[in-house]
Amino acid sequence: MTFGEKLRALMADHGIGLRELARSVPCDAGHLSKVSHDRKTPSVQLAARLDEILQANGELVAHREPSPGGAPDDDEWEALELARRVAASDVGDETITALEMTVDDLASAYPRTPPAELLVRTRRHLGYVSRLMEARMTLAERRRLVVVGGWLSLLTATSEIDLGRHSVAAARLRTAAQLAAHAGHTELLAWTLETRAWQTLTDGDYREAITLSRGAQEIAPRDGSAFIQATAQEGRAWARLGGRSETRDALARVERLVEPLPVPSRPEHHFRYDPAKGDAYTGTTLSWLGDPAAESYARGVLARMEHPSNGLARPRRAVDARLDLALALLATDQPAEAAHTALEAITSGWLVPSNHWRAAEVITAVEAHRLPEATTLREAYRDLCVRAVPTPQSTQ
């Protein structure tokens, strides 16, 4: 019996196919096919490995004919060793998959979790990913792990911005961008630019926010959420500059992009766009323009964020909607209701430092109407700022 015949008999006894056996070695299935039909003499190492897998107790090795001239096939063994090293892993698909699911869970928790609490969770998982980077893994697993690290770094940066820690956030964003570039993940890379645009907008540099938003649109996949988000962010920046035609152009582009979108299975996911998020951004943008239409948008968004028909309530977005509504009410000469709505937002416990400046704008406008409610509103805002963790770059 030849080596190939013995190999095929053992494969039949164990019920193992050629491709499955090749993966177990690991080696090229085409080469193994030639070996199994005696068209190629296996190296000593390959014969021994096959003997081990098929539990032949040396019988398979005994059927191996020596290579011509008695010389080992070094090229074959080098190829076999390279394949083994590439396929070797101490991480595994299950670990990477679990981490990818964790990223989705954390991103979905964003609109209903205080940023300080979310930050603790993302940092813990980011540390775990960093330690895993030292482990042996396949090239495919490493790329997936790099992408996980990029999303976690981006989410960490987002929470740092919420807390007013801009220098730390900038470092996290640089890390996220570097990991996205290493993995060739353009959606993640575009999100890092969009997040920088948002941070720049909260700092008051609206022109730079537009530049960053457009940069994100240039590299983002056209069918991804980052492209829509960056377009909406551009519209918000134009609204702050008072550019009505540019703002409406951006809003129209967002509407065309959002219209065919189905509601995602997890609409609360921070990095997945959904129609409700489109309405929220439109409400904010129109309120900054002083457009009366902002009122109906803000009321609708507020109702959906507090009492969603699917998914969980999103209190952080509900607070944003209240601030939008307050601005809209001021634009339509309803200052008393605006003051009441702003007070609800300020005392909700969900207003993050990165949005304190928005509350301050509403308070200033209410004070201009000389309403008695303005004093209560201002005091509540002072209490909020005292409770917030002070940072050198806070946007309060």
Local confidence pLDDT in tens for the 396 residues of the chain: 899 999 999 999 999 999 889 888 888 788 889 899 988 888 877 888 898 899 998 889 888 876 554 444 445 545 555 555 556 677 888 888 989 999 999 999 998 899 999 999 999 999 999 998 988 888 899 999 999 999 999 999 999 999 999 899 999 999 999 999 999 999 999 999 999 999 999 999 999 999 999 999 999 999 999 999 999 999 999 999 999 999 999 999 999 999 888 877 788 899 998 877 888 889 999 999 989 999 999 999 999 888 877 667 889 889 999 999 999 999 999 999 999 999 999 999 999 999 999 999 999 999 999 999 999 999 999 998 887 654 433 332
With respect to residue 263, please indicate whether it lies within any of the assigned structural domains: no
Tell me which residue of 100, 7, 93, 90 sits closest to 47, measured CA to CA.
Answer: 7
With respect to residue 342, please indicate whether it lies within any of the assigned structural domains: yes
Q: How far apart are CA 230 and CA 221, in angstroms?
A: 11
**Domain boundary pick from 87, 115, 145:** 87
**Domain boundary pick from 65, 87, 109:** 87
pLDDT score at 58: 86
Domain that includes residue 34, residue range: 3-87
pLDDT score at 169: 95
Vertex 59: Cα angle to 55 and 62 (nearest 5) = 140
pLDDT score at 45: 76
Chain CA centroid to CA 102, Å: 11
pLDDT score at 342: 95
Please say whether the beta carbons of 123 and 142 come within 8 A. Answer: no
Q: How many CB atoms lie within 10 A of CB 390?
A: 10
Q: How far apart are CA 74 and CA 62, in angstroms?
A: 20
**Domain boundary pick from 87, 107, 142:** 87
Number of structural domains, the chain? 2
pTM for the structure as a whole:
0.74
pLDDT score at 72: 43
With respect to residue 47, please indicate whether it lies within any of the assigned structural domains: yes
Please say whether the beta carbons of 211 and 245 come within 8 A. Answer: no
